Amino acid sequence: MDPAPTPAELAAYLRGSLPKDRFAAIDQWLEHQPDEEVGRLLGDAESQMTQVHLDMPLKAPPEPGFVADPSRSRLHAGDVIGEGGMAVVQRAADASLERDVALKVLKPRGIDESLDQFYLRAQAFRREAALTASLEHPAIPPIYDIGRAEGRPAFTMQRLNGRPLDERLRDEPRPAIALVEVFLRAVEAIAFAHSRGVVHRDLTPANILVADFGAVYVLDWGVAARIGEGDGVRVGTPAWMAPEQAMGAPADPRMDVFALGALLHLVLTGQGPRPDPGRPGLLELDRLQDRNVPRGLAAVVRRCLSEPTQRYPDAGAIVAELRRWLDEGITVAQEAGRLERAWLRLRHSKQVRMAAGSAILLLAVVGSAWWLHLHDARQAAVQRVERMAAAVDLNRPEAVRVAQAEVEALLASHPGLPEAHALAERLRAAGDVLAQQTRLAEQRLRFRQLLDHVRRTGPWPGESQEWQSALAGVGIELGSAAALPTWHDHPLAVDIAEALVWAWRAAAERNQSVEAARAAQALASGGPTPGWRALGRVCAVSRFQAHDPALPAGVDAAAALAEPESAGAVMAAFAPAAAIDARAWEVLQDRPGDFWPLIAAARAALAQRDLHSAQHLGLVASGAEPDSMYPPLILAYEALARGDATDLSRAVGRGLRINPDHTELQALQAVTLARAGHRADAQAVVDRIGAAHLQYHLQHRVGHPMERTVDALVLAGLRIPDVAPDLGPVAPDGQGHRHH
């Protein structure tokens, strides 16, 4: 090895003034020295130099790939510039790149926020960063980096200067065409997200920023989701979100289409279309009839705000409509006639006006030659029909409607054109098929909404009527004596079967014997599989024990539990039983996160006084369905059995937030109030439940958990008048009681 370098050579090494071979030799020599020795030698050499300043490590182990600047002082956070329910946004300066950024930091866990809720919020925060970073578009602020700040998840993004859309509209009124051009840039960003399978789900005026130099940005992708995700999750801003979002429907681009229509209403009229956010079905569109609102744009708004199946399929279709209006002054939604379309184009386009003037002059000169072109016009129409017939996508309602409009226009010009008549008939048949598919989708959505309601809140007032109404939509009338239809081969047969189970349970609990019997008969005769038909026969002979139907032993019960789908309905609708418990544990071995097996197993554990298992299963079920009242109810009964007042109060409060009408939760609330010393409030809750209901559970001991709740009320010294026992529905609706 070469001899050690002198201090002068080390100084020259730092300045880069050594010959190449000596530089390489010293570099190799330094590689073989300890880090401390290298630091000392080079530090001494640097101290002798006045023109060199080292601000980077002189020696560090090589790392593969690119490594970001690790300096703790790189990012300097400033004041808060925005705050939402999930995170806080601060001004920040990136010292390494010498640029201003925005730092978004997850809020700390709230004092009333459970650990699982905090974890879900942190997961949604990281998901926002990943989703936003995947959308590279000029109108979507880019994500620069992701990491942690103050020990919590955080990410940096482009810092923007501008004002929200509603402030710009209020302070800087401009002609409609300029406003539409600004709005179009935001719609193009949403169209880009839809093309990547992402739905924003929270489009509001505050989330569209108009920057100082005309740029437009779509902000806050915190509740965005992939198409089809988020089933059962209710997110969005009530004043602007689509009605189906309030029902927890999965993410669909048509949700954003509704919000974009509401925002376009704001752009055109200065107000949103929804006067009361608490009533999502109430829209006021009268302002669209103002003479200053272009008809084509008003038609776009109305279509965006219509039922999901009537809306544009995604934001890309709205982009096409707005561009068409900017270019021609007309939209497809306007459904204008031929003369109106021509007049609008003439008014809107200088080029069209010039072309029209030239055409009139030409017609004046060569009018006599017009008839010679009739044959060519007819041939052109035939060719247009042939091209449309080859290109139209009969599986897309929008494409069929546009083609029908064009064919009608051709037939108006050439009424005797057989090719156009044939295509019109073909399009009409396709439209009928699509309409049938739309009806099927609406029926499926209604069943899924009700089934989701059951998972979230359990029984609710008016439940029986809603199930019967949904079944009537597929031809099954439970309230009449008409013959039941054959439905086992219906496309929604499984949904119908599950709906019949719940319709039977709701009717039977409310002593609606005719409706309950017809629901059981319909399932037994028309179920899509042997398991469902067996379950129908089980329902026909089952009797209630307190608030839950008991599963009778026999071959039908075994057959119903043998099939996965019918078994799930049994676990959800029936009281704990040994066969149900065994089947639930069997399912959980393969699918430990299945909700109804978790609830069934937890109920059985409560009945057997296995409190540890009941608590464990209740917590797992809470993670699987955080918006369901069943896990809090199980945890409340488990806490009551353990005598843990804190856990009991927490579980009851969470359950009542989901379903305030549930009688069992109300009774448990009275226990918590009494044990906390609020006897008057507790007695008021008891009186609201009704002495007859509570007396039933005092006098009828069938093993229902409510019996332990009533015992706790008596032990707490609350007064339950001695009246005749009368057990009503667990969610009373004022429509009668079931007497025992």
Partnered with residue 77 across adjacent β-strands are 92
d(CA 509, CA 549): 9
Q: Which phi-psi region, left, alpha or beta, contains residue 467 (left: φ > 0; alpha: ψ -120 to 50)?
A: alpha
Specify the amino acid at residue 428.
Answer: R
Please list, residue by residue across 397-412, b when 16 or more beta carbons sit within 10 angstroms of its beta carbon and e when fewer do: bbbbbebbebbebbbe
Which residue in the list 94, 202, 314, 548 is annotated as catalytic?
A: 202
Asked if 237 and 219 touch (Cβ cutoff 8 Å), the reply is no
Nearest CA among 553, 584, 548, 471 for reference residue 705: 548
- Residue 96 and residue 74 in contact, taking contact as beta carbons nearer than 8 Å: yes
* Token pair belonging to 281: 């079905």
Contacts of 103 (CB under 8 A, 6+ apart): 75, 77, 89, 90, 91, 92, 149, 154, 155, 156
Rounded to whole angstroms, the Cα distance separating 193 from 291 reads: 34
| Whole-angstrom distance, CA of residue 238 vs CA of residue 219 | 18
How far is the C-alpha of 30 from the C-alpha of 27, rounded, in Å?
Answer: 5
The answer to whether 90 touches 80, Cβ cutoff 8 Å, is yes
3-state secondary structure of 155: strand
Cα(550)–Cα(543) distance, rounded to whole angstroms? 6
| DSSP secondary structure letter of residue 314 | S
- Rounded to whole angstroms, how far apart are CA atoms 714 and 252? 51
CA distances from 722 to 443, 699, 706, 719 (A): 47, 11, 18, 9
Q: 450 and 498 in contact (C-beta within 8 Å)?
A: no
Pick the closest to residue 69 from 97, 33, 102 (CA basis).
97
Alpha carbon distance 663, 681 (integer Å):
16
Q: Which two tokens stand for residue 587?
A: 């399912």
Map 274-292 to HEC letters: CCCCCCCCCCCCHHHHCCC
The angle at the Cα of 737, spanning 716 to 632, to the nearest 5 degrees, equals 50
By residue count, the chain amounts to 740
Mark whether 202 is an active-site residue: yes
Beta strands, E only, 353-413: none
Q: What are the DSSP calls for 43-73, one per residue?
A: HHHHHT-SS----S-S-----SS------TT
Neighbour-count burial of 571, counting CB atoms closer than 10 A to its CB (0-12 exposed, 13-18 middle, 19+ buried): buried
> If DSSP states are collapsed to H, E and C, what string results for 548-559?
EECCCCCHHHHH
The sign of the CA dihedral 169, 170, 172, 173 is positive
3-state secondary structure of 417: coil
- Read off φ and ψ for residue 16, nearest 5 degrees: 75, 30
CA atoms of 192 and 214, how far apart (whole Å): 20
Q: Is 739 helix (H, G, I), strand (E, B) or coil?
A: coil
Report in angstroms the alpha-carbon separations of 562 from 128, 581, 587. Answer: 42, 13, 11
Query: What would the two tokens of residue 33 be?
Result: 């020295």
| Number of other CB atoms surrounding residue 604 within 10 Å | 23
- Catalytic site positions: 202
